[in-house]
Each structure stands twice: as structure tokens, then as C-alpha cells.
Chain A
Amino acid sequence: MGTFKFRSYSKDFWAGVMFLGLGLLAVYIARDYPMGRTMRMGPGYFPTYLGYGLALIGAFVNIRSFFSEPPEEERVTRWALVPLALMPLSVAMFAIVVDNFGLVLAVALLIGFASASVRNFKPIELLLMYIVLLAIAYFVFLRALGVPFHPFWDDSFGKALSDFIGTIMTPFRLIFGS
């Protein structure tokens, strides 16, 4: 048992904060939903009790952190701040770009943002990754699996490209039939 102390480096402290916050938020929002009675549970019944339960566990875990010194593995380690910012950003970027500017640009941006979080990329590795991933995105997902993306921001450009690819593929079609 350690002394009573504020320990913001303890995993328990922050896990407790998260649980408490989420639990109370659930209770707060669910107060607008009819509770019903035990015999006929309303839409607010289950979430309200879950929220209270979570808040209770959160409070317990949080308060526990004030009383004992956490061992090494119970301390919050350093945050990977750059990836933490860049990964969600690159996903969000993909989502916004893909609807308006097509899959190819979206994937290219995604790779660019994501790879920026690692410093020791060699140029050749980056180039290789762009080629391979763009090829997978275009040929596997768009053409083979038929995910309904626009390949490019402008469909006339996409059509020109697919005609071009069709022309290149003609000898193969002739050899393999279809």
C-alpha cells in the first residue's frame, strides 16, 4: 500500500476516467429515453443501468489508483503522438477524397499521409509501395471485386485509361480467349 497520492501515470487512473466518462455520458443521454418498468423495459432501461455499472467500475478503478504505487507494467507508456494523429487523419482523408476525386487519388493520399509517420523510408521503398498498392486497389478491388468506386475524379479520364488498358490487354485476350 502506497501513500494517498494523485498518480496521473497510472493505467488505473486513466482507465477509470474513460469508464466513468463513458458511463456517465450514457446515463446522461439515456435520460431522454423512456425507462418503462421492469416488466416492460423501455428503450432507456438497459443503457441506463449499463451506464451506471460502467461509471461505478470506473470510479472504483480510478480511486484505486490513488492508494497504491503501480508497478512498472501498470504505468502508461509514452504515446506515439505522430502516428496517433496521422493514422486517423489519413483514413478520414481517404473517406473524403474517395467520393469526390476517385479511388486512385484517395489511395495515393492515404499512403502519403500514413508513411509520413515513419521517418526511415527509403525512396525506392516508397515508390515500390505506391506501385504495388495502387495496382491492388485498381485491379483487385475495383476491377475484380467490383467495389463501386470511381477510379478518378473525372469519369472521362477513367474511361480513357480503361480503354487504354483494354488495348494493351488485347494480345492476352487473344491468347487466353476472353
Chain B
Amino acid sequence: MEFFTDVFGNLIMGFGVALSLENLVYAFLGCLLGTLVGVLPGIGPVAAIALLLPTTFALPPIGALIMLAGIYYGSQYGGSTTSILVNLPGESSSVVTCLDGHPMAKNGRAGHALAISAMASFFAGTVCTLIIALAAPPLAEVALKFGAPEYFSLMTFGLIASAVLASGSLIRALGMILVGLIFGIVGTDVNSGMSRFTFGVPGLSDGIGFVVIAMAFFGLGEIIKNLETPNDQRQVFTDKVSGLMPRWVDIKMSAGAICRGTAIGAAFGTLPGTGPVVSAFATYAIEKKIAKDNSQFGKGDIRGVAGPEAANNAAAQTAFIPTLTLGIPGSGVMALMLGAMMIQGIAPGPQVMTNRPDLFWGLIASMWIGNLMLVILNLPLIGLWVQLLKVPYRMLFPAILMFMCIGTYSLNNSIIDPLLMAFFGVIGYAFMKFGCEPAPMLLGFILGPLMEENLRRALLISRGDPTVFFTRPISLTFLLLAAASLLVIILPAVRKKRDQAFEGDE
């Protein structure tokens, strides 16, 4: 009981922080910018956050994090709008929404699809905000007892899980993790003061900036890839969107799907990897299987919109749990959030909750406020987003490029960063051509220095005995989980299922 009153009191304090005029403005700006970027196909949440990150440097830490979080879930909302109206997913996590959302729009029910997707997302967001508030304190308590071996094993598990859950070849995803870890080592070694992999370039002695890497792989590489098909013909849904108020029949029909989607998304979101994508696919598959009459799936069934939308939004929210309590990011976006915290001078980890309760609970409260804003903001602005979708890609990419150039330059006011971005952009594009996903690389890149440090400490306290990772129970559990997730994927039966789930995810 005491626990609940604590959480309740903390949430009220959080709302006190988040409801200040300043922070409301940051949340609003973040949601607006995020939706804007999410609506546009061809630029995902990672690139969006990397792009806008430099503009938050001047803000206070709490304001910066609130704005970045707003950008993140704003882009999730915006992505589904594009899916429904254009049949082109704005984000990878809204691929599933296309399946039934766009047929609904074609049948003249675009308004209903948009309304139910907003409702489902808001419901999932509300539930998951509560889940974070309840789950985070006990988890952080446990995490405070972690030593170096536990952290090392946890990160190993996180990295391997992200490779397992990523789409495409598992072994290549593992390779990309190692590539990221190696990129992460570039710079001055904190223990010996030695320059590693700097090639004598002075700008590299502080390491490669994670904003540079994120922009190179998710921004520049992505632009080159999108330009492979220069004449993009978008079928924008041009009829007037009507019926934006959800109907009672629709709500009754999709209530079950929304609840199941929320539960699945909340569970998947805490796992490292592409949580929102996987949970949306899983929910769609389950809804299709348990529906009494599933003949309309793929032709405009409202449950096929509501379930996955709830799932991807739920997963997007609960992804904050490992990031905030353990300091271990589960996805590219979370890696950037973590990086943003470090830039603001906050060491991520379980101690954030006790050292900076205003920041922690303020951020959580702002998540709920942001979700509410998005519902209020999105539906009336649909007309604006439709107009925006008519802007052809050839006019968008020079703008993105300019933002990236100015953004990377302003990191250190040096031309090294844009040049590095150009270099890694080419490498990123090549990796994409060879079927290597960039997301596991970014995770490895962020975790690289942390992993090396924890490995060093673990081996120091064990006097060089590597069995320390297997004799400590928590550490052993993580390693067994990592091994189990690898085994599961190698078994052929499961593998087939996984390939089915990713069908059409390109």
C-alpha cells in the first residue's frame, strides 16, 4: 500500500513539473515536430531525433528530454496517418497499419480509421505510462545492486536480443553489433589515455559523436537509398477526410483488439530490439487468428488498425523502462535518448530516479500529457498533414540534408563532424545494400565503451577469472537468456514463424 501512495505522490510531483508552462511548450513543440517528421515517409524516428537533437542542447535537461520524448511518440502517431492515407508507412512500425488502414480509406472510411488509431494509441499510451510508473521503482531498486559482471551480462543479453528481434539475417545483425562496438571504441581510452583508431585525426580523439553516426546511417544512407527510385509516385488520398469522431460500433468492435494490442506491446517494448515493429506484427497475426469472421482482414477491418496501433504505441512507451531504470537502451531511439541525457550531464542508470526525481517523474508525466496533446492536435490537423504529403520527396531530401549539415557542424563547431557523416553515410548505404540492418550497430556503438569498462572492472574484481560471469546468479541468468534467445532463433520451426511475421516488412 505504501508503495502505491509513493508512486501516486511521485506522479503528482511529476505532473507538477510537466505542467509548468515552459515544459508544456517543449512537449507541444516536440509532438508537433515529431508528427511532422513522422508523417513524411522516408525519414524515421532515429533520424528525426538525431536531426533535432542539436536544437535541444540549449534547453534545461528536463525540457530537452520532454521535447525529445515528444518527438519520438509524435513520430509514431504521424507514421500511422501516412499509412492510412497514402499506403506508405511513415515509420517501419506502422507497416501493419497499411494492411487494413488504407483499404478503409479507399472505402471512404479514412476518418474512422484515423479516429480509432488515435484512440487506440492514446489508450495504450495511458496504460503504459502507468506501467512505467509502477514498474520502474522496483526495477531500479534491483538494478542498484548490480555490479560490473551483471551489467556486462545484461548488455550482452540486450545486444543479442536486439539482433534476434531485428528483421533480416541474424548472423549479419550480430556482425553489425560488433561493427558498432568497434566504432564505439574510436577515441581516447579512459584508462590508459591512449588514442585508439583515431588515424591521427585530432577531431576523433573524443570519439565519433553518436549524432554523427545516427545521422550518417539513418539519415544520409537512407536518403541515398530512397533516391534509388527517383520518380516517387505517391497515391495521396485526396478526398475530404470526414467522420473523425469515433463511432460507438467501431469502439465496441475494436475494444478487445486494443486491450490485447496494449498487453502485447507493453511486453515486447521492454525487450531490446525493434519492439514496436514486432509487437504490431504479432498483434495483427493474433487478431486475425482469433476473430470469428476474419474475411475482412486486409480489406479494411477496423480491428486490423486498432490492435497494431495500440501495440506499437504501447511498445514505444515501455521501451523507456530499461533505458530509465538500467541505463541500457533497447533501440536506436532509446540509445539517442540516453546519449541526450549524457550530453545534459546526467549519468544514466538506476540512480537517476533517486538523484533527479523531478526529471524522472516529470518525464513520465509528460509522456501522458504528450499522448493527450497528440490526440487533440492530430485529428484537427489532418488536413494540414494531407497537404504536406503532397510535397514530393525530391523537394524534401535537400531540406533534410541541410538540417543534417548544420546540425552536425554545430555539435562542435567544426567541419570534422559533417565530413565524418559524409564518410559514414557511404559506409551505411553499403551496409544497407548488403542486407545489414543499421539499428543493432547503433546499439553496439552506444554500449561499446560501457561494455568495455564493465568487462574490465568485472575481470579486475575477479582477479582475471572469467568464470565470474557464470558464478553470480543474476549475471548467469542474463547469459542464459541470451543463449536461449539465440537457440530459439536457430531452431528451424521458430525461424519459419519469424520469417512469416516479417513478410512484407521491407
Contacts and interface: CB of A to CB of B under 8 A. Distances in A.
B402 A84 contact: no
B196 A33 contact: yes
A148 B412 CA distance: 11
A79 interface: yes
Interface string B388-426: 000000110111011011100110010100110111011
Given A22-B182, A47-B182, A60-B171, A33 B402 contact: no
B434 A11 contact: yes
A45 B98 CA distance: 48
Given A43-B191, A83-B223, A83-B227, A29 B402 contact: no
B175 A57 contact: yes
Contacts of B175: 15, 19, 54, 57-58, 61
Given A61-B171, A121-B394, A147-B410, A84 B429 contact: yes
9 contacts: A15-B169, A15-B435, A18-B436, A26-B197, A54-B178, A88-B423, A96-B415, A128-B395, A133-B402
Contacts of A90: 401
Q: Which 5 A-B pairs have the closest CB atoms?
A: A39-B464, A88-B422, A11-B435, A95-B415, A83-B227
Contacts of A178: none
A116 B316 CA distance: 38
B460 interface: yes
B230 interface: yes
Interface string B184-215: 01000101101011000000000000000000
Question: What does DSSP make chain A's interface, helix, strand, loop or mixed?
Answer: helix
B181 interface: yes
A80 interface: yes
B464 A37 contact: yes
Interface string B150-193: 00000000000000000001011011001101100100010110
Contacts of A80: 224-225, 227-228
B55 A145 contact: yes
B430 interface: yes
A91 B395 CA distance: 17
A129 B433 CA distance: 30
